[in-house]
């Protein structure tokens, strides 16, 4: 993820600008990796009754003849309750992949089910929609494409009055959207984005959560950056409404916020027009949400916080890479010691509860400090270097990111290096030079090089504390020879 090009370095030209260039290359590679780490999943909405969840009953696999029998009874039965029970039996059978295959092989089955979905009987409509929902959860793309005749009706029902029915339709559409490009190609011209823009104004939390799920599935489509996000999404009111739902305060709903924070993450990862999001106040909103999350964790230590913290951290990191941030002055709203303090509250929480999320916070810290002397000053003035160094032993990935942040600080000049050197940095660096991972060692050497450039007295202190032996250990590693030689020359002539 953080690939280095040590073999191409020349000792006489290893200056600050080259170090900055290499870090920019690594950050670009990291952003690309994160864009590729999309999470595609499906959700199943079932009642909590034992016979719905599969507990306390055995659901049989239905053959084609049985599927046909239930469909015929549901369509032509004389009693509405018998028709409803037939659809309930069909729906339970459709929980099995084998029944799903039998259903789509049966000629006219989907046409019959769509007819029941569009009937005048509310209970039959609901059960038919539930059957479609079971089908949408299939892992077979052929099953999803068989549902194509029903998607336009599901879309129409999003403007209905029953919040439960709208929720069911949204989850079904979300499952189908992610499975089939044919479904997406049909729904986009039919107006799924305007329908979603209307749904996002719903007062019902369950509808908003379902909408966030369906929208996130649409945004993860492989063609989204070229065909969906530029005109359909960014040309709608969805981004503004998403940011409103992420406003911190008593009205913030955690479940809804998680869904739309991930939606915003997928939009920012596409890098289509992040400048537009910034003009809508995305950095300001997310910065305030970061402060809110840090305060909330101090009060409650909620173990589920990472569900929201992760996409929020990623969104801010993505937006901070935009050149427009510097030109517009939007970043000024984040230039506050409170942001740095809040970030370290989250890092400590991750360290204790969810170490796998430490890279998310450190990636944001890297982007904050990369081009901002003010954030580097906050890091030093709040005495956060020692807490940062405490993260070094967590993993090699975390070590490299911590060292990269320290390089960001050191490259700001002599005054920053002087403050860095006063703390417990040297023992930590010597420990990092003793590890076997070449990337960790290389980043440690890069930090030492900056310190030697800006803080000449650091050379003597380094040599006195066995730094010479630490360097000699790595002289035989081919990839590090040029860098070691450069440092050695600096130490001799510094």
Angle (nearest 5°) at CA 252 between 246 and 253: 105
According to the model, what pLDDT value does residue 2 have? Answer: 28
According to the model, what pLDDT value does residue 237 have? Answer: 95
- Are 365 and 407 in contact by the 8 Å Cβ rule? The answer is no
pLDDT by position in tens, the chain (length 494): 222 222 222 222 334 455 455 555 554 554 444 444 444 567 777 764 444 444 445 568 999 999 999 999 999 988 889 999 999 999 999 999 999 999 999 999 999 999 999 999 999 999 999 999 999 999 888 998 999 999 999 999 999 999 999 999 999 999 999 888 889 999 999 999 999 999 999 999 999 999 999 999 999 999 999 999 998 999 999 999 999 999 998 889 999 999 999 999 999 999 999 999 999 999 999 999 999 999 888 777 655 677 899 999 999 999 988 865 555 544 545 667 889 999 999 999 999 988 999 999 999 999 999 888 889 999 999 999 999 999 999 999 999 999 999 999 999 999 999 999 887 888 898 889 888 898 999 899 899 889 888 887 777 777 776 555 555 555 443 444 455 455 555 544 54
CA distance 466 to 464: 6
| CA nearest to 215, candidates 32, 401, 207 | 207
According to the model, what pLDDT value does residue 197 have? Answer: 97
Structure tokens given for 10: 């020349």
pTM of the model: 0.83
Q: How many residues are given for the chain?
A: 494
Centroid of chain to Cα 272: 17
CATH code, 61-192? 1.25.10.10
Residue whose entry in the numeric block shows the structure tokens 């059957």:
131
N-term to C-term CA, the chain: 33
Structure tokens given for 434: 């003793």
DSSP 8-state secondary structure symbol assigned to residue 201: T
Q: Is the dihedral of CA 184, 75, 164, 197 positive or negative?
A: positive
- Are 379 and 385 in contact by the 8 Å Cβ rule? The answer is yes
Q: Helices marked H in 94-232 — which ranges? A: 97-105, 109-117, 122-136, 141-146, 148-156, 163-179, 181-190, 192-199, 205-219
According to the model, what pLDDT value does residue 30 have? Answer: 46
**What are the C-alpha distances in Å from 252 to residues 57, 238, 258, 278?**
39, 17, 10, 21
Spell 158-193 as b/e; 16+ CB within 10 A means b: beeeeeebbbbbbbbbbbbbbbbeebbebbbeebbb
| CA nearest to 164, candidates 107, 229, 209, 97 | 209
| CA nearest to 445, candidates 413, 417, 407 | 407
According to the model, what pLDDT value does residue 104 have? Answer: 94
According to the model, what pLDDT value does residue 78 have? Answer: 81
According to the model, what pLDDT value does residue 477 have? Answer: 39
**What are the C-alpha distances in Å from 274 to residues 232, 250, 442?**
15, 28, 33
**What are the C-alpha distances in Å from 118 to residues 121, 135, 192, 227, 385?**
8, 17, 19, 31, 64
| CA nearest to 160, candidates 204, 111, 130 | 204
Sequence-separated (6 or more) residues with CB below 8 Å from residue 196: 158, 211, 214, 215, 236, 238
Query: What are the backbone angles phi and psi of residue 321, rounded to the nearest 5°?
Result: -80, -10
According to the model, what pLDDT value does residue 301 have? Answer: 62
According to the model, what pLDDT value does residue 44 have? Answer: 78
CA distance 447 to 403: 7
Structure tokens given for 470: 């630490």
Sequence-separated (6 or more) residues with CB below 8 Å from residue 244: none
CA distance 478 to 475: 7
Q: Helices marked H in 236-281 — which ranges? A: 238-245, 254-270, 274-279
Strands (E), 261-389: none
Spell 379-401 as b/e; 16+ CB within 10 A means b: bbeeebbeebbebbebbbbbbbb
């Amino acid at each position: 993820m953080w690939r280095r090009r040590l073999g191409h370095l020349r000792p006489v030209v290893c200056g600050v600008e080259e170090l900055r260039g290499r870090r920019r290359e690594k950050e670009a590679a990291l952003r690309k990796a994160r864009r590729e780490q999309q999470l595609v999943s499906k959700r199943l909405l079932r009642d909590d009754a034992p016979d719905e969840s599969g507990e306390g009953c055995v659901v049989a696999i239905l053959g084609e003849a049985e599927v046909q029998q239930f469909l015929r009874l549901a369509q032509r039965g004389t009693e509405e309750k018998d028709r409803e029970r037939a659809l309930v039996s069909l729906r339970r059978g459709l929980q099995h992949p084998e029944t799903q295959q039998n259903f789509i092989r049966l000629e006219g089955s989907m046409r019959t089910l769509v007819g029941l979905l569009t009937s005048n009987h509310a209970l039959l409509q609901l059960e038919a929609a539930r059957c479609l929902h079971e089908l949408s959860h299939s892992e077979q793309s052929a099953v999803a494409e068989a549902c194509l005749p029903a998607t336009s009706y599901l879309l129409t029902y999003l403007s209905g009055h029953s919040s439960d029915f709208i929720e069911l339709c949204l989850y079904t559409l979300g499952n189908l959207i992610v499975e089939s490009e044919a479904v997406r190609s049909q729904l986009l011209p039919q107006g799924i984005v305007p329908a979603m823009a209307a749904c996002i104004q719903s007062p019902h939390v369950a509808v908003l959560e379902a909408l966030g799920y369906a929208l996130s599935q649409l945004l993860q489509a492989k063609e989204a950056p070229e065909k969906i996000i530029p005109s359909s999404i960014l040309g709608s009111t969805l981004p503004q409404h998403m940011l409103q739902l992420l406003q911190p305060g008593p009205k913030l709903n955690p479940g809804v916020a998680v869904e739309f924070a991930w939606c915003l993450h997928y939009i920012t990862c596409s890098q289509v027009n992040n400048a537009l999001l910034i003009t809508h106040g995305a950095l300001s909103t997310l910065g305030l949400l970061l402060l809110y999350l840090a305060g909330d964790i101090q009060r409650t230590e909620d173990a589920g916080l990472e569900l929201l913290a992760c996409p929020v951290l990623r969104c801010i990191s993505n937006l901070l890479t935009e050149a427009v941030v510097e030109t517009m002055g939007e970043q000024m709203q984040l230039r506050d010691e409170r942001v740095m303090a809040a970030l370290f509250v989250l890092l400590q929480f991750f360290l204790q509860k969810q170490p796998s999320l430490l890279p998310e916070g450190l990636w944001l810290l890297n982007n904050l400090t990369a081009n901002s002397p003010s954030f580097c000053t906050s890091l030093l003035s709040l005495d956060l270097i020692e807490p940062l160094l405490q993260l070094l032993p967590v993993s090699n990935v975390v070590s490299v990111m911590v060292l990269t942040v320290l390089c960001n600080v050191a490259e700001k000049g002599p005054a920053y290096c002087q403050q860095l050197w006063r703390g417990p940095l040297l023992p930590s660096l010597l420990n990092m030079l003793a590890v076997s991972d070449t990337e960790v060692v290389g980043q440690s050497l890069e930090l030492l090089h900056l310190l030697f450039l800006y803080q000449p007295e650091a050379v003597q202190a380094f040599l006195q504390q066995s730094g010479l032996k630490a360097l000699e250990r790595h002289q035989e590693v081919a990839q590090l020879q040029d860098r070691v030689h450069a440092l050695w020359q600096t130490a001799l002539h510094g």
